[in-house]
Structure 1
Amino acid sequence: MDLVSLLFTYLGLYLMNGHGQPALLYLVPCTLGVTVILGLVRGELKELWNYSPESSSATTNLTGEA
């Protein structure tokens, strides 16, 4: 997906006659879009949106600590 974002950036540069445009204008929406879509597909969007380190037990389970 980063490739698509980069292509959008180059397209923006081309359309603006080579004048610099902020890459974040294209990169951030594509990156966040992938995150939101994967969250919806996996059914984890609510957990992602309401994330807090205190309530996350997945990290401690992966390291083997209780």
Structure 2
Amino acid sequence: MWLIIGYGFGLLFTYLGLYLMNGHGQPALLYLVPCTLGVTVILGLVRGELKELWNYSPESSSATTNLTGEA
């Protein structure tokens, strides 16, 4: 849900930049990426999960199994 809100703000900034620059705005990703990635980082900091998010490894998850079927 929070990423959808961040994406919405990115779109708002995109259209605002397009309007303020008289139709010569920057690419939308210039606004969308910081808004969505920023929300992810801020939520990770607030929830205390940023270190886990940054160092994510599918092998360290207990819910996954390897190709031989061992847990």
Aligned residues: percent identity? 98
Q: Could you say if the C-alpha distance between residues 64 and 7 of structure 1 is closer, same or farther in structure 2, counting changes exceeding 3 Å?
A: farther
CA RMSD of aligned residues (A): 3.4
Matches within 5 A, 1:1-66: 5-58=10-63
Aligned residues: 62
Structure 1 residues 40-59: Cα deviation after superposition (integer angstroms, max 9, x where no partner): 11100000000111112256
Structure 1 residues 9-54: Cα deviation after superposition (integer angstroms, max 9, x where no partner): 0011011111242101000000011000110111000000001111
Deviating beyond 6 angstroms after TM superposition, the runs of 4 or more aligned structure 1 residues are 60-65
Give structure 1 stretches of 5+ with no counterpart.
Answer: none
Question: Does the 8 Å contact 2:58/2:64 carry over to 1?
Answer: no
TM-score between the two structures when normalised by the length of structure 2: 0.71
Give structure 2 stretches of 5+ with no counterpart.
Answer: 1-9
Q: Could you say if the C-alpha distance between residues 56 and 12 of structure 1 is closer, same or farther in structure 2, counting changes exceeding 3 Å?
A: same
TM-score between the two structures when normalised by the length of structure 1: 0.75
